[in-house]
Amino acid sequence: MATKDKPLYGLVGKKLSHSFSRQFFSHKFEEEQIDAEYLNFELPTIEHLKDIIASHSTLKGLNVTIPYKEVVIPLLDELSPEAEAIRAVNVIKIVHLSDGSVRLIGHNTDVIGFRESIRPLLTSNHAKAMILGTGGASKAVEHALRALDIEVQFVSRSHDKSAMTYSDLTDDIIIDHKVIVNTTPLGMYPNIDRCPDMNYSSLTKEHLCYDLVYNPEKTMFLIACEAHGAQIKNGIEMLTLQAEESWKIWNN
């Protein structure tokens, strides 16, 4: 429970037992002697967001995770240019106005977190990328990759005009896309025995395979990629970078 009058921050999502954010910010507050709290708010539906804000008068900011990064947008008063372009939000700044009302401003820090964590690993071979999944996080990944001049192809379980299906993935397509990013929750704790359904034997040592999942540290997706020679990276650095960027937004 939050302490009265202490600045409060938090995370909203549906299931948060796996969450990195509360541990990260609690450690940050202790190390930097910041008098604040960070709480998890598990919401059965995103419509409960207004109740959370109304019942916590010192709440200054929220992170947003699966499955609410897109559906939260109609509840917000304003979007940053980047969040508007991506149409996904993972940070909400809560501005308390003099009349007692609040203004909710949506931001997206997943972009900078992903971009800056993958940038040092990229080479001239990495001209094309496949993004596995089409949820809110995938849109930030797409935005970051295009900013790095990398061509993007979405892959999804269902076919639409912007994505091919896993069954469409031939060996040649996999070989041609040297960056593969898993933005789905497949393999996330506690369901750690799952991974995207693709032919991992088509991978080579020139492939860079990135999983936004960070718990477990090495998912089934990353294990399969590494077994076929690919370079691998999980999402923990991305989370750290986006969390620090969240803090700057809340306190700017």
Catalytic residues: 69
CA atoms in the 13 A half-sphere facing the CB of 136: 22
Structure tokens belonging to residue 42: 């598990």
Check if the beta carbon of residue 137 is closer than 8 Å to that of residue 111: no
Question: CA 114, CA 212: separation in Å to the nearest integer?
Answer: 9
Going edge to edge, which strands form the sheet with 59-64? Answer: 37-42, 8-13, 59-64, 91-96, 102-107, 78-79
Question: CA 106, CA 122: separation in Å to the nearest integer?
Answer: 30
Q: Pick from 220, 225, 39: which is nearest to 130 by CA?
A: 225
Check if the beta carbon of residue 133 is closer than 8 Å to that of residue 182: yes
Q: Pick from 142, 152, 84, 78: which is nearest to 115 by CA?
A: 142
